Amino acid sequence: METFLQLLIYGLQLGSIYALIALGYTMVYGIIGLINFAHGDFLMVGAFVALFAVTLFGLGFVPALLISMIITGLLGVSIERIAYKPLRKRPRLSALITAIGVSIVLENFPRALPFIGPAPRPFPQMIPMVKFNVLGVSTNSVQLIMIALSVLLMVMLQIIVTKTQIGRKMRAVSLDKDAASLMGINVNSVISVTFFIGASLAAAGGIFYASTYPMIDVYMGIVLGLKAFIAAVLGGIGNIPGAMVGGIIMGIAEIFATSINSDLGYGIGFVILIFILLVRPAGIMGKFTIEKV
């Protein structure tokens, strides 16, 4: 029982990180129908921005987190404007291939920079680590704060999407861009806001991940991004609560599988992916629509 709870906490922590990243995949897919293959790299950018904010400018955790979220968010907006927007009326495959290209650039441009480079970097410990025991389960301040912050960000997102005018606009644009523009909605700026939110949540996810597994490198977004993408598919791509649920399930499944065998832990995501594609291709919360990628 104690091991179970112990694993559950680790699973929740990893799962909430997957969820934050999965949200960006799902929101971007929902609004422009694009699987943004470069999305995983935003979490890497977020982690590096935070690293420099701390090591070069001596910022604390919260300012570093906020600055990283803003810078990564703006990067997401610029990438959409420069790389994806011109292709919006072209066949989907063009944007998909472009996304792969963007991903390669995002990984290899920093790799070529002398002050970043290919080697992994230690990520600073920004939150004082206090360990404690609850009911025989050992946990620590970092873990609990990360989970709490993830939940906070997700609740904020949910409120924005369901209760505010920009949220209404996002849902309208994702359903019908022409009809939305006939309401006087500036579709381009709504798409920008969506990219901003998606990329900044990924940055937060990257920082939370690096705070737990404190080595970062330019390729860290690949596997993490892939798993978060599976989480988004699992929840139903395009569905926001689905991404949250999918992320949590992925994290928990991975931690439990790892406790049995570490290779199994690495592969469990793909097992889940194959399973969900076979039995419920629309995902847990998704509605099935025929959709060309």
Partner 1 sequence: MLEIKDLHVSYGAIKAVKGISFEVREGEIVTLIGANGAGKSTTLRTISGLEATAGGTITFMGQNINNMPPHKIVELGISHVPEGRRVFTNLSVIDNLKLGANLRKDKEAVKKDMKKVFELFPILEKRQNQLAGTLSGGEQQMLAVGRALMTKGKLMLLDEPSMGLAPMIVENIFEIIKEINNEGTTILLIEQNAYMALSIADRAYVLETGNIVLEGSASDLAENDEIKKAYLGA
Stretch that binds partner 1, among 71-79, 98-106, 145-153, 174-182 (CB under 8 A): 174-182
| Contact between 285 and 245 (Cβ < 8 Å) | yes
Establish if 187 lies at the interface with partner 1 (CB under 8 A): yes
Q: How many residues bind partner 1 (CB under 8 A)?
A: 17
Question: Which of 52, 63, 51, 47 is closest to 204 using CA atoms?
Answer: 47
The binder of partner 1 chosen from 186, 215, 262, 280 (CB under 8 A): 186
Q: Which stretch binds partner 1 (CB under 8 A): 46-54, 93-101, 163-171, 204-212?
A: 163-171
Stretch that binds partner 1, among 14-22, 43-51, 59-67, 184-192 (CB under 8 A): 184-192
Closer to partner 1 by Cβ: residue 2 or 176: 176
**169 binds partner 1, rule: CB under 8 A:** yes
d(CA 207, CA 73): 14
Confirm or reject binding of residue 176 to partner 1 (CB under 8 A). yes
Per CB under 8 A, 182 contacts partner 1: yes
CA distances (Å), origin 24, targets 135, 199, 259? 36, 6, 29
Exposure string for 227-236, b = 16+ CB within 10 A, e = fewer: bbbbbbbbbb
Q: Using alpha carbons only, give the angle 99, 102, 106 rounded to the nearest 5 degrees.
A: 140
CB-based contact 99:35 (threshold 8 Å): yes
Q: Quickly tell me which residue has 């066949």 as its tokens.
A: 91
Distances (CA, A) of 192 to 32, 75, 103, 189, 271: 11, 11, 18, 5, 34
Q: How far is the CB of 246 from partner 1 (least distance, A)?
A: 20
Interface residue with partner 1 among 94, 158, 181, 212 (CB under 8 A) is 181
Q: How many residues does the chain have?
A: 293
Tokens of 51: 């690293």
Judged by CB under 8 A, the stretch of 35-43, 64-72, 178-186, 258-266 that binds partner 1 is: 178-186
Is 113 or 183 the residue whose CB approaches partner 1 more closely? 183
Q: Of 116, 48, 43, 107, give the one whose Cα is nearest residue 76.
A: 43
Per rule CB under 8 A, is residue 159 in the interface with partner 1?
A: no
Tell me the window of 74-82, 123-131, 170-178, 254-262 that interacts with partner 1 (CB under 8 A): 170-178
Q: How far apart are CA 156 and CA 62, in angstroms?
A: 17
**In the bound complex, what is the minimum distance in angstroms from residue 238's beta carbon to partner 1?**
11
| Cα separation, 218 vs 44, whole angstroms | 6
Question: In this complex, which beta carbon is closest to partner 1, that of residue 83 or of residue 172?
Answer: 172
> In whole angstroms, how close is the CB of 180 to partner 1 at the nearest point?
8
Least gap, CB of 88 to partner 1 (angstroms):
14
Question: Are 238 and 171 within 8 A, CB to CB?
Answer: no
| Segment 114 to 153, residues that bind partner 1, using CB under 8 A | none
Quote the least distance from Cβ 57 to partner 1, whole Å. Answer: 39
Exactly one of 56, 133, 165, 279 binds partner 1 (CB under 8 A); that residue is 165
The total of other beta-carbon atoms located within 10 Å of residue 289's CB is 7
Given the rule CB under 8 A, which residues bind partner 1? 165, 168-169, 171-172, 175-176, 178-187
